[in-house]
Amino acid sequence: MSTSAQQTQTPGNHTLTYRLLNHDLKDPLRRVEVAATPEELRAFTEDGFLVRERLFAGEQLDRLRAALDEVAAAERAKSGRGEGLSASRRFGGLFLRHLMDKHPAFLDLLRFQPLLSVARAQLGPQVQVRGLSARITYPDQPNQETHWHFHQRLIPDPLPPFFSQPQTIDSLIYLDDVTDATGPLAVVPGSHRRTDEDLPAEEYGDLPGQILLRLPAGSCVMCHGALWHRALPNRPDGTVRRLLLLGYGPTWMKQSIYGERPEDGLTTALLDGADEETRELLGVAGWM
């Protein structure tokens, strides 16, 4: 579908109105109340990331922490260590996938407007949740870091005339404080636009222009899928650091390929009689 958008703004309110250019739709208008200013969106577009400090707090943060601990305990019990516990220096930590299918608390994030509205402002009105995963790092385990990487950039050289560049957004939700001890997040602003450059593999050192993000618990960093970033190690003097990764993309893109989705997952039951928005967000509608 083609879209066009109009923007209106009142004090404390930023509204986008999209029109889907499809004559088969009874109501082609999609209105988005965006939880960001136009200036913040322009900075997100330019830098490739947007920081939201203390976006989650109180009971909401405690609920997410408890849910993740429950899933982590269940996964670790399966094999004694956990199906996704990695000692690789490239991506160390415990990785948990398909969280919306494993605990009802995570379904609260499906329509979480402070993030979803920004994704719709940047990607268009037809957005799906590509996946919800987690990475937990431990101070008593080796290699609790990552190398420099990006999440979504499959671009050929030379560029074909009709090539559609993949555009995704990943929301990194930190359930614990991000400090020098627990491993700050390093990003290179603007690197998501450097699509003609190769990012070296197995790179762990400082890069020109990088900045380090140290954040209080409950904070979120929304990143373009092609942004260069890495997590520094969780040091022995650190604490457990729990991170949720909530991915967004256009409805016509593939969802995350990682992990094995439970056959009786919670989203399967949610789709029974679901409205069109829920179907879009879960990736089963909105293609044409």
The model's pLDDT over 18-55, given as tens digits with 9 standing for 90+, comes to: 999 888 888 889 999 999 999 999 999 999 999 999 99
Q: Is 60 exceeded by the pLDDT of residue 80?
A: no
Residues 282 and 270: beta-carbon distance below 8 Å: yes
From CA 228, how far away is CA 21, in angstroms rounded?
34
Alpha-carbon radius of gyration of the chain: 19
In 3D space, the residue among 122, 113, 77, 116 whose CA is nearest the CA of residue 226 turns out to be 122
Count of alpha carbons within 13 Å of 228, Cβ hemisphere only?
22
Q: What is the mean pLDDT of the chain?
A: 91
pLDDT digits (tens, 9 = 90+) for 171-192: 999 999 999 999 999 999 999 9
Q: Is 90 exceeded by the pLDDT of residue 286?
A: no
Please give the model's pTM, rounded to 2 decimal places: 0.92
From CA 93, how far away is CA 137, in angstroms rounded?
5
Q: 135 CB contacts (<8 Å, ≥6 apart)?
A: 91, 93, 94, 95, 96, 231, 243, 245
pLDDT digits (tens, 9 = 90+) for 52-63: 999 999 999 999
Q: 200 CB contacts (<8 Å, ≥6 apart)?
A: 148
Length of the chain: 288
- Say what the pLDDT of residue 256 is: 86
pLDDT band at 5 (very low <50, low <70, confident <90, very high): low
